[in-house]
């Protein structure tokens, strides 16, 4: 099982019923699959901390 997806599920299940949390996970997986197919690039698994650092570095470059 993907640890990032599982952590996302555990976070969602704290505030939502199980079926809604599963729906959110399915939606996230579909968005990942669509992005891989659209951009023709392999999926690169990064944690939320890495995502925040990447976002901040891109914002600094744009400013």
What are 14-63's pLDDT values in tens digits? Answer: 999 999 999 999 999 999 999 999 999 988 888 778 889 999 999 988 77
What ranges make up the beta strands (E) of the chain?
Answer: none
Do residues 22 and 9 touch, judged by C-beta distance below 8 A?
A: yes
**Structural domain of residue 55, as residue ranges?**
3-62
pLDDT band at 1 (very low <50, low <70, confident <90, very high): low
Q: Which residues are CB-neighbours of 32 under 8 A, at least 6 positions away?
A: 43
Q: How many domains does the chain have?
A: 1
pTM over 0.75: no
What distances in angstroms separate CA 49 from CA 10, 19, 20, 37, 52, one per listed residue? 17, 27, 25, 25, 5
| Among 42, 59, 44, 2, residue whose Cα is nearest residue 25 | 2
């Amino acid at each position: 099982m993907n640890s990032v997806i599982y952590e996302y599920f555990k976070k969602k299940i704290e505030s939502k019923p199980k079926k809604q949390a599963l729906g959110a996970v399915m939606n996230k997986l579909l968005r990942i699959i669509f992005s891989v197919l659209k951009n023709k690039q392999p999926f690169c698994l990064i944690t939320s901390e890495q995502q925040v650092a990447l976002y901040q570095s891109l914002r600094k470059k744009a400013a």
